[in-house]
Amino acid sequence: MASASVNVSVEAVQEHKIQEVTLDGQEIYIPPLSMSENLAKLAHKIDFYKDESEDKGKPTSEGEKEVEEEASKAAVQPSLWPWDNIRNKLKAALTEMSVLLDVLNITKEKRYMLLDHVSQDAPEAKSAIQLMAKKKGLQSAAGVLLAGAERLKKSQQEMGTRPQNEFHIELLKLRQNWRLKKVGKTILGDLSYKSAGSRFWQGGSFEVTKNTNIANGEGDNMASTRSSLEVVIPTELEGSAFVQVEVKTVEGSMNLTSAILRMPHGLGPYPSDAHWQTKLEAAQNVLFCKELFSQLAREAVQLKSFVPYIVVGNQIISNVFPNVQLSIVLCHSTGKKDKKSQHPGKVEHNHVLEHSLHQLLREVHFKSLNMSVPHPVTATIGVTKRRRMAGPEAISRRELLEMTESETLLEQIIKQTRHAVLRLRTMKVIDAVAAKFPDPQICAHWSCLNSSLESNVRVIITSQGYEAMRPTWQSLYLEIGVNDIKVVTRERRRIILSFEEKEIEDLLLWQISQHHIAICQSLARLLSWQYISHSSATGVGEMEDFATASSVLLVSPNSDKVIAVRSGPTTGLHVHMKSDAKDIDADLASILEAKWYNLTGTFKEIDLNRIDGRNFATKLELIMASVTRKR
């Protein structure tokens, strides 16, 4: 037999039980219980069938018996919902099943949990030996702890003197923010969004290296200190990128061929000695923008719609309305070559839509990972809560079909763009009309409860000083949607407007003309003038370009003056007055009553510009008041 080499093992002091001492003096120890064996031993001690008043091990069969008992009980207690008990038990059973499924899944992987035989309890040894063993064990444990404390104290002292940018400290900081793993001798990291739910084909793995050319002797100036850790980013993710979204008006509807390859500007390339955190964040942003743009481009090519999308290079162009174009550009500057800016003109980048795009992609990521509760932790696919409740709620076929429809990213962003354009246009038009016509005040109350696809506004037209007369208010309610605007007028008439700006302007002008007539009516009531006639669609006189003119006839309390007002959206406001005829025969004058005098006479127009008054209502009141005579 060859001479056995002496085994020298350096290990912690063992206080394990000696199972056997062989003839050549070797001691064989009982191997200590590993973590899984320990767990198994403890689990073996739990008795699942004891200490539960309801049998949790068999919920379903119990549930059935409960059904019949509860059914008979329900007749006695009609107020108690009969399925409550069952539901609770089934819920508990579902929880237990989920836990069991998780345990089985984890055990299958054999990395964190193992199925193993249950070990038997070791036989009790004598108490004296146990005491000795425990004493020795405690002494060695104390020794280990004290040695550890010494080491920690020493390392703490060293930390103060060590320079801050040492490689391992930097590595620790890096590990706190990014996921790293060691492959062979190199340290690789992952900056992609895969763990957040992304399914992009391009991976983002970077390498962490030591920086060997640290400038010595410059440790005082923190700004110029180089970190001892460098990251190497893959070349396609270098530089910085952003997705530029622009909404612009172009003359000529199908001008999609004017797509020019954009050069990035406004983005500075990052200096090569920037801090690793900045570099990594920039690379991650580049990856995100690339994923976003590739998803949009794929949808633009595959989507079938009435309006064709054009994908040219790094640009996607589509017409949201005739004359309005949406362009999405991926701007990526690598910072290597010196590029001359070819577009000195300013580009109106829409930050809101860019943010929406980012949010939409993040939502896609989120949905691919998270499903609605309850579900086992290790489940990878699931159904939405609505689909799960479709059974118990007896959802019809039509509603189920509606649930399966989903929208692509491009469709969603185009809808948001449309709504943004409509909203801005409506705002502009209302403000322009309000500025142009100071006479009746136009007030727009925009609701603060709105979404990216719907907003609403209430426009109120009043005359200053006469707001107490509620009937004179013309209040319009506009609901701005994605493709059109719905209007509800004061008389509860529903009108649907398209995206043309002129339609909103026409509507407001028409409402202003209606307001004037409403003023006349209210003032007449106040000043006890009588109403002779009112027509909201006058068929005589000048024709309007759109809508109709309204007219009203008022007569004074003494029946000697008649005022006629005609107001139309394009023809404007005209006030005519008729006085009694002064040229009646003296013979007739004595036998005629006063009221017959106002059958004849001519109307004369009043020039409103020469009457004092801030607005039409004041002027009309002045006219009516000055003309009324006491009886």
Which residues bind to other proteins, rule: CB under 8 A?
A: 60-61, 64, 67-68, 71, 74-75, 82-83, 387-388, 390-397, 400
Tell me whether residue 403 or residue 592 sits nearer to other proteins (CB atom): 403
Tell me whether residue 390 or residue 444 sits nearer to other proteins (CB atom): 390
Report the half-sphere exposure of 125 (CA within 13 A, side-chain side).
12
* C-alpha 202 chain-centroid distance: 26
Q: Return d(Cα 478, Cα 485) in angstroms, integer.
A: 7
Question: How many CB atoms within 10 Å of residue 281?
Answer: 16
Tell me whether residue 20 or residue 68 sits nearer to other proteins (CB atom): 68
Tell me whether residue 114 or residue 390 sits nearer to other proteins (CB atom): 390
CB of 74 to other proteins, least distance (A): 7
Q: Which residue has the tokens 């506009």?
A: 478
CB of 397 to other proteins, least distance (A): 6
Tell me whether residue 71 or residue 129 sits nearer to other proteins (CB atom): 71
Question: Any idea what the Cα angle at residue 403 is, between residues 399 and 407, rounded to 5°?
Answer: 135
Tell me whether residue 383 or residue 594 sits nearer to other proteins (CB atom): 383
Tell me whether residue 386 or residue 629 sits nearer to other proteins (CB atom): 386
- Per-residue DSSP letters for 526-544? HTTPEEEEEESS--SSSPP
Q: Return d(Cα 619, Cα 631) in angstroms, integer.
A: 23
For residue 392, whether the previous peptide bond is cis, meaning omega lies within 30 degrees of 0, is no
Spatial contact of 524 and 595, defined as CB atoms under 8 Å apart: no
Where helices occur in 179-326 by DSSP H, the ranges are 276-302
CB of 396 to other proteins, least distance (A): 6
Integer angstrom CA distances of residue 131 from 31, 128, 229, 330, 589: 21, 5, 53, 75, 141
CB of 61 to other proteins, least distance (A): 6
The contacts of residue 506 (CB under 8 Å, 6+ apart) are: 546, 547, 569
CB of 64 to other proteins, least distance (A): 6
32-51 burial string, b = 16+ CB within 10 Å, else e?
eeeeebeebeeeeeeeeeee
Tell me whether residue 402 or residue 467 sits nearer to other proteins (CB atom): 402
